[in-house]
Amino acid sequence: SSMLARIANSLTSDIIESLGMGNVRGTLILPFATGMSLAFCLSSWRRNKPNAKYVVFLRIDQLSCFKAIFVAGYEPIIIDCVRDEDRDTLTTDIDGLTRVLKEKHDKILAVLSTTSCFAPRGPDDVEAVGEVCSRYRIKHLVNNAYGLQSRECRRRIDMAGGKGHVDAFVQSLDKNFLVPVGGSLIATFDEEAIDAIAQFYPGRASLVPSRDLMITLLHLGRNGFMNIYQRQTELFELLVKKTNELASTISERVLQTPTNLTSIAITLTGLPADEQTLLGSILFDRGITGARVVCPGIKKCILGHEFFNYGSHSSKDQPPYLNIACAIGMSREEVDILIETIRKEYSELRAKARRRSIVRGSE
């Protein structure tokens, strides 16, 4: 079992290097999903700063990474996103982060940033975040859930890590390596850092994630694996092109998020509010399980912390929109089916809404 785990770790290190992340020096496969591995990293760092009470959470509206902070025994300090001046992208509030770290650095263990996310959220400015963390000697943990398949996420993490500004980054095995759910990969830019995290592991557990990953990588080989990632890049570009064409046809707009290379957001302003959420339900019934509708104004309380506009990653005003994504394993045929299904169902809902409006106007 130890030999199998070592082989799987070596294979993942080789693949990560092949993906252009040449600064990575250590990897560790754990039989936990991403959220638990984030909590595991935070817990392993507790002895480095035993009096710390907080983890700074750069807002992303995803439950597991937020709950990971509580699982590790810390309280979150939430920093909202800011919008790029020239685009729709939501990204890191570096000024806000700097103020928080300056005021409370002695009580803060780490900053939890995110790369892979749903548009209009873009990847955090990992290098700038890391520079601020290094200034105040605070750990920097990156939630890279499915970010290995994004060349932009890989570039940002490797650049920051090569300068010593990332202490660890965590990614899901199923989302990045086409294996069953239930495992994750922790990586660091320092061998001692990954050893310290590994030594915190309390005992034996299932080797299934390591076994599945090893079998998959041996079956695909480096070239086969790289082809899958290249295919994702090509299909995402196709999806962007077709989504822009669709938006023009139905008088909607694709939000401009050029740093997000896995997810797209298209506005739904032409539909009444009740029809917007209905569209999401209809798409799910049609087998489009990855799409989701996000409407403004939703409030959600999670473990005592309230989020406004939950789902949109920011309390700032947003139009209603539909999220779609292109991950590894998607085919060109699926892209065509996705776009055609959205076009058909959107058009039917808008036509029904117009007919109802005409009927009400004549009464």
User: Which domain range does residue 289 map to?
Assistant: 222-362
Angle at 110 (CA atoms; ends 260, 175), nearest 5 degrees: 40
Say if CB 194 and CB 188 are below 8 A apart: yes
The pLDDT value given to residue 2: 82
Q: Which two tokens stand for residue 162?
A: 């090569």
CATH number at residue 350: 3.90.1150.10
The pLDDT value given to residue 363: 58
245 and 321 inside one domain = yes
Residue type, 41: C
Q: Which two tokens stand for residue 151?
A: 């060349």
CATH number at residue 144: 3.40.640.10
Question: What radius of gyration, in Å, describes the C-alpha atoms of the chain?
Answer: 21
Q: What residues contact 198, with CB distance under 8 A and at least 6 apart?
A: 28
Q: What residues contact 117, with CB distance under 8 A and at least 6 apart?
A: 60, 62, 123, 260, 263, 313
206 and 305 inside one domain = no
Separation CA 177–CA 19 (nearest Å): 13
272 and 154 inside one domain = no
211 and 249 inside one domain = no
Whole-Å CA distances, 77 to 53, 72, 138, 237: 10, 14, 14, 36
Say if CB 153 and CB 263 are below 8 A apart: no
Q: Which of 171, 193, 220 corresponds to the end of one domain?
A: 220
The pLDDT value given to residue 3: 86
pLDDT tens track, the chain, 363 positions: 788 889 999 999 999 999 999 999 999 999 999 999 999 999 999 999 999 999 999 999 999 999 999 999 999 999 999 998 778 999 999 999 999 999 999 999 999 999 999 999 999 999 999 999 999 999 999 999 999 999 999 999 999 999 999 999 999 999 999 999 889 999 999 999 999 999 998 877 788 999 999 999 999 999 999 999 999 999 999 999 999 999 999 999 999 999 999 999 999 999 998 899 999 999 999 999 889 999 999 999 999 999 999 999 999 888 999 999 999 999 999 999 999 999 999 999 999 888 877 766 665
Q: Which of 220, 239, 269 corresponds to the end of one domain?
A: 220
Residue carrying structure tokens 């202490």 = 167
Say if CB 183 and CB 32 are below 8 A apart: yes
The pLDDT value given to residue 333: 97
- For every residue of 62-115, DSSP letters joined together read -HHHHHHHHHTT-EEEEE--EE-SSSS-EE--HHHHHHHHHHHGGGEEEEEEE-
What's the residue count for the chain? 363
38 and 181 inside one domain = yes
196 and 337 inside one domain = no
160 and 261 inside one domain = no
Whole-Å CA distances, 236 to 144, 151, 242, 335: 19, 12, 10, 9
Is 204 annotated for ligand binding?
yes
331 and 272 inside one domain = yes
Q: What residues contact 131, with CB distance under 8 A and at least 6 apart?
A: 163, 165
75 and 212 inside one domain = yes
Q: Which two tokens stand for residue 65?
A: 């990474």
The pLDDT value given to residue 274: 87
Q: How many domains does the chain have?
A: 2
The pLDDT value given to residue 137: 96
209 and 317 inside one domain = no
226 and 200 inside one domain = no
332 and 202 inside one domain = no
